[in-house]
Amino acid sequence: MRGLDEGWIVDHDDYSDQYLREILASVRVIAMVGASEHWNRPSYFAMKYLQDKGYRVIPVNPQAKGEEILGETVRPDLAAIPEKIDMVDIFRRADAVPPLVDQAIAKGAKVVWMQLGVRHDAAAAKAEAAGLKVVMNRCPKIEYSRLHGELAWSGVNTGIISSKRRKL
Amino acid sequence: MAEKPKTPGFETLAIHAGASPDPTTGARSTPIYQTTAYVFDDVDHAASLFNLQTYGYLYSRLTNPTVSVLEERVASLEGGRGAIAVASGHAAQMLAFFSFMEPGDQFVTSNKLYGGSITQFGRSFKKFGWDAIFVDPDDPENFRRALTPKCKAIFVESLSNPTGVIVDLEAIAAIAHEAGCLFIVDNTMASPYICRPMRWGADLVIHSTTKFLSGHGNAMGGMVVDSGRFDWAQNDKFKSLSEPEPAYHGLRFYETFGDLALTVHGHAVGLRDLGATMAPLNAFLTITGIETLPLRMERHVQNAQAVAEYLAGHPAVCWVAYAGLPQSKYHKLAQKYLPKGAGSVFTFGVKGGYQAGVTLVEGVELFSHLANVGDTRSLIIHPASTTHRQLTEAQQIAAGAGPDVVRLSVGLESIADIIGDLEQGLEKAMRLRNA
């Protein structure tokens, strides 16, 4: 499935580095749906990492509402977040995605990001039609680290070739 | 509509992949980070590193900046998602199987492998309870017939050392995947310049980087490259990646790291516990070697083809096993899987048997008589009197190392000098026979 983004065709099977870079550089506040208070869950890994990189991450999880994860109060749903949010990061099964997209649009988010293993093309098309950018089946932690040279620390093929010195 | 940036060519990747200028110093050549450990920013940073929650260097048994450059370089050349560098090719095989095998598990493998791999699989792996089932790889169906419910993988070499056997990668990959098994290909003899096994369905590629990748006969090393395409959760065979890992407090590698699962597991569990780490200096030498891999391989196969053709017409030679020759039974497969040339390691038979073989390896002056392949230097060995001398003659023949067999690794010297040296060596062998 393809969506149009400022003259770029977004190929949801193969995102360009530029597309992901622009998203990660433009968002500051991320609502993480399905955030877990258990430190060995993938969402906890991603939240902690993204906080370290300067993002504000607001956990959303109806089962844990009112609790704190990594210093942030857990909200029951997107509408209950008092702040403006830039991106919704979805750690839920694909069939839970469509209502979350509706809420993300209503909340004024600019990006809907679905985690590794999560993909819903119809919901993505709806978000894109409403002017949001969409990423599916990726992890923002992995993409951030790949694009910033950190993933190469673990022997990963980042696909990045450059004769320029990377900023520290 | 803007075009996406094109993927760089093989030669560009061979020089640049993984190796941007050093961010701290601007050093253009990859620095040798000769350190065992790395400081933590604070306790929280240390905890994140130990929990695999952030990326960074912790201890060089697991990761090292020089070694990481080499890992990315080889992963990139093979078209893989990530790679784990280890101390040798044998360590690579050990780490690859260690990542998913449990006691009682089985795998099916070609019986035409490098002899050292047959010993490792057939003997040492048994101590871990891993059972290798050996089959003749010429008929892909032999792999299917040998599969059992306990099998987790099929293993082959893209180009066998030293017999020159080439297997039908695409057909065997399909058999492995139908059975929910991994397809593992050792690509040492071909190198990614000549063969890209992942294009034909390989899930993991193994290298002894000691050979053509480093290329100069000066650095030991091995590599496990992961395609990132294998679904570790498709069945219950790969629980070490799909189920909670107790040593990391119940973390599931596949769920947490997705297509990086094996790469992360190989460092965080494999290297942590097997400890077969590649030294940073060896990584540096191998990185430097790979920069010229395309040029070297081009000349290696060109020289090998010329030597094979010369030997095929020599009166002291009974046979030549080189897939670049049209009379080879592997010629067709070579054209499909190794279109740039059939490698530069092959065997031939010298008339006069054992003694003629010994006379030849002792009589050459440019070829080095030693047990290695993939050097800039031309190398020669007579397996029956060296690597395979403990075997009976019947066992030697079965292993492709009969009394008349001589193995060459054709190097990069002037082709006239390479052929001239064999010429005078073969003359000595013939004189002996006629005496």
A159: region left, alpha or beta (phi > 0 left; psi from -120 to 50 alpha): left
Please judge whether A48 and B48 are an interchain contact, meaning their C-beta atoms are less than 8 angstroms apart: yes
Please judge whether A152 and B80 are an interchain contact, meaning their C-beta atoms are less than 8 angstroms apart: no
Tell me which residue in A7, A152, A164 faces B68 most closely, judged by beta carbons: A152
Determine the average pLDDT of the residues in B399-411: 92
Pick from A146-160, B327-341, B421-435 the range whose average pLDDT is largest.
B327-341
Q: For residue B23, which residues of chain A lie inside 8 Å, CB to CB? A: 149, 165-168
Determine the average pLDDT of the residues in A103-126: 96
Tell me which residue in B20, B249, B250 faces A164 most closely, judged by beta carbons: B20
Q: Tell me what pLDDT residue B1 has.
A: 41
Chain A, 72 to 101: residues with Cβ < 8 Å from chain B are: none
Tell me which residue in A11, A159, A166 faces B20 most closely, judged by beta carbons: A166
Determine the average pLDDT of the residues in A84-89: 97
- Least confident segment among B81-90, B125-134, B245-254, B269-278: B245-254
CA B23 to chain centre: 31
> What token pair was written down for B145?
């017939």
What's the pLDDT tens digit per position in B337-370? Answer: 999 999 999 999 999 999 999 999 999 999 999 9
Beta carbons within 10 angstroms of residue B426's beta carbon: 24
Please judge whether A154 and B264 are an interchain contact, meaning their C-beta atoms are less than 8 angstroms apart: yes
Tell me which residue in B53, B63, B263 faces A48 most closely, judged by beta carbons: B53
Please judge whether B17 and A16 are an interchain contact, meaning their C-beta atoms are less than 8 angstroms apart: no
Handedness of CA B35, B41, B43, B48 (dihedral sign): negative
Beta carbons within 10 angstroms of residue A31's beta carbon: 26
pLDDT band at B328 (very low <50, low <70, confident <90, very high): very high
Whether B389 has a pLDDT exceeding 90, the answer reads no
Q: For residue B248, which residues of chain A lie inside 8 Å, CB to CB? A: 40
Q: What is the mean pLDDT of chain B?
A: 94
Say if residues B88 and B221 touch (Cβ distance below 8 Å): yes
Q: Tell me what pLDDT residue B360 has.
A: 97
Please judge whether A154 and B75 are an interchain contact, meaning their C-beta atoms are less than 8 angstroms apart: no
Whether B401 has a pLDDT exceeding 90, the answer reads no
Q: For residue A162, which residues of chain B lie inside 8 Å, CB to CB? A: 16, 20
Please judge whether B56 and A16 are an interchain contact, meaning their C-beta atoms are less than 8 angstroms apart: no
Q: State residue A134 phi and psi, 5-degree precision.
A: -130, 135
Please judge whether A166 and B56 are an interchain contact, meaning their C-beta atoms are less than 8 angstroms apart: no
Using the Cβ of A71 and the Cβ atoms of chain B, whether some distance falls under 8 Å is answered with no
pTM: 0.91
Please judge whether B75 and A155 are an interchain contact, meaning their C-beta atoms are less than 8 angstroms apart: yes
Q: Tell me what pLDDT residue B48 has.
A: 84
Q: Tell me what pLDDT residue A78 has.
A: 96
* Alpha-carbon span B62 to B268, nearest angstrom: 7
Please judge whether B21 and A163 are an interchain contact, meaning their C-beta atoms are less than 8 angstroms apart: yes
Tell me which residue in A39, A150, A161 faces B17 most closely, judged by beta carbons: A161
Whether B100 has a pLDDT exceeding 50, the answer reads yes
Helix or strand (DSSP H, E) at B151: strand B151-157
DSSP state of A168: -
Q: For residue B40, which residues of chain A lie inside 8 Å, CB to CB? A: none
Helix or strand (DSSP H, E) at B118: helix B115-122
Q: Tell me what pLDDT residue A4 has.
A: 47
B202: region left, alpha or beta (phi > 0 left; psi from -120 to 50 alpha): beta
What's the pLDDT tens digit per position in B155-176? Answer: 999 999 878 899 999 999 999 9
What's the pLDDT tens digit per position in A16-50? Answer: 999 999 999 999 999 999 999 998 888 999 999 99
Look up residue B88 and give its amino acid.
S
Chain A, 11 to 40: residues with Cβ < 8 Å from chain B are: 11, 14, 16-17, 39-40
Determine the average pLDDT of the residues in B242-266: 92
Count Cβ–Cβ pairs < 8 Å, chain A vs chain B.
Answer: 124
- For chain B, the first-to-last Cα distance in angstroms comes to 78
Chain A, 101 to 130: residues with Cβ < 8 Å from chain B are: 116-117
Q: For residue B80, which residues of chain A lie inside 8 Å, CB to CB? A: 157
The residues, any chain, with a CB within 8 Å of residue B394's CB and separated by 6 or more, are: none
Nearest in space to B434 (alpha carbons), one of B317, B316, B348, B310: B316
Tell me which residue in A116, A158, A163 faces B72 most closely, judged by beta carbons: A158
> What token pair was written down for A107?
């909340």
Handedness of CA B146, B150, B152, B157 (dihedral sign): negative
Say if residues A56 and A29 touch (Cβ distance below 8 Å): yes
pLDDT band at B4 (very low <50, low <70, confident <90, very high): low
CA B36 to chain centre: 27
Q: Tell me what pLDDT residue B391 has.
A: 78
- For chain A, the first-to-last Cα distance in angstroms comes to 36
Chain A, 129 to 168: residues with Cβ < 8 Å from chain B are: 139, 142, 145, 149-168
Whether A2 has a pLDDT exceeding 50, the answer reads no
Please compute, for residue B326, the number of CA atoms within 13 A of its CA located in the half-sphere on the CB side: 0
Nearest in space to A139 (alpha carbons), one of A20, A4, A59: A20
Please judge whether A39 and B26 are an interchain contact, meaning their C-beta atoms are less than 8 angstroms apart: no
Q: For residue B255, which residues of chain A lie inside 8 Å, CB to CB? A: 42, 116-117
Please judge whether B5 and A16 are an interchain contact, meaning their C-beta atoms are less than 8 angstroms apart: yes
What's the pLDDT tens digit per position in B202-226? Answer: 999 999 999 999 999 999 999 999 9
pLDDT band at B2 (very low <50, low <70, confident <90, very high): very low
Measure A116 CA to nearest chain B CA, in Å: 6
Q: State residue B354 phi and psi, 5-degree precision.
A: -50, -55
Q: Tell me what pLDDT residue B379 has.
A: 97
CA angle at B119 for the pair B95 and B378, rounded to the nearest 5°: 90
DSSP state of A63: G
Whether A1 has a pLDDT exceeding 50, the answer reads no
Q: Which residues pair with A89 in a beta bridge?
A: A32, A113
Strands A29-33 and A87-90, bridge-based pairing: parallel
Helix or strand (DSSP H, E) at B299: helix B293-312
DSSP state of A154: G
* Alpha-carbon span B46 to B53, nearest angstrom: 10
Q: Tell me what pLDDT residue A49 has.
A: 93
Determine the average pLDDT of the residues in B109-123: 92
Q: For residue A156, which residues of chain B lie inside 8 Å, CB to CB? A: 71-72, 75, 81-82, 260, 263
* Alpha-carbon span B290 to B67, nearest angstrom: 13
Cis peptide before B23 (omega within 30 of 0): no
- Token look-up 């002037």 returns B414
pLDDT band at B96 (very low <50, low <70, confident <90, very high): very high
Q: Tell me what pLDDT residue B393 has.
A: 85
Tell me which residue in A17, A116, A162 faces B20 most closely, judged by beta carbons: A162
Tell me which residue in B2, B16, B55 faces A151 most closely, judged by beta carbons: B55
Determine the average pLDDT of the residues in B224-249: 94
